[in-house]
Structure formats: structure tokens, C-alpha cells
């Protein structure tokens, strides 16, 4: 499964919202090297794939994590 996370001006890109993807493979999380940069939250959301669904955040999540989405298979 692929998860997409929107970050609010993280330390490595303090001027941007950042969209990053991570995959779970055999119970292991693998972060993709690619990241997408945006100037606004709406722009960051527009960079997500169309086939995502929002996921809940957890109390222990890093404060710069704004939103997390799971990519769903819409081929059904």
C-alpha cells in the first residue's frame, strides 16, 4: 500500500509544503526519494494522486505532518 503525507514546512524544506510517498511492503515501510513541493496547502493537495482517501493522524505524529492519505486501487 502507498501512503502520501503532506508536511507543513518541514526542516528540510522550510519554505514549502511537502508531499512525500511511502510504501508498505511485507510489513516494512519504505520511503520514496521523490518529494513534491508546494507553496500552499491547496497546491499540495492538488499534487496527490486522484485515487487517495484520507487517513487519521496519531497523537505521536510529528507536528509538521498535516494530512495522510492512502492510495486505493480504483481499477475495480
Domain annotation covers residue 20 = yes
Q: How confident is the model over 10-46, as pLDDT tens digits?
A: 999 999 999 999 999 888 999 999 999 999 999 999 9
The DSSP letter of residue 56 is: -
Which pLDDT belongs to residue 73?
A: 78
Full residue range of the structural domain in which residue 35 is found? 2-71
Domain annotation covers residue 63 = yes
Residue ranges of the alpha helices (H) in the chain? 41-46
Domain annotation covers residue 50 = yes
Domain annotation covers residue 42 = yes
Domain annotation covers residue 76 = no
Q: How confident is the model over 38-61, as pLDDT tens digits?
A: 999 999 999 999 999 999 999 999
Which pLDDT belongs to residue 37?
A: 98
Amino acid at each position: 500500500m502507498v501512503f502520501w503525507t503532506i508536511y507543513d514546512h518541514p526542516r528540510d524544506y522550510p519554505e514549502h509544503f511537502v508531499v512525500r510517498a511511502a510504501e508498505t511492503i511485507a510489513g516494512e515501510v519504505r520511503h520514496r526519494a521523490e518529494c513534491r513541493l508546494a507553496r500552499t496547502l491547496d497546491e499540495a493537495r492538488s499534487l496527490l494522486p486522484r485515487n487517495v482517501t484520507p487517513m487519521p493522524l496519531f497523537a505521536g505524529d510529528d507536528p509538521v505532518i498535516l494530512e495522510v492519505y492512502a492510495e486505493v486501487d480504483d481499477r475495480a
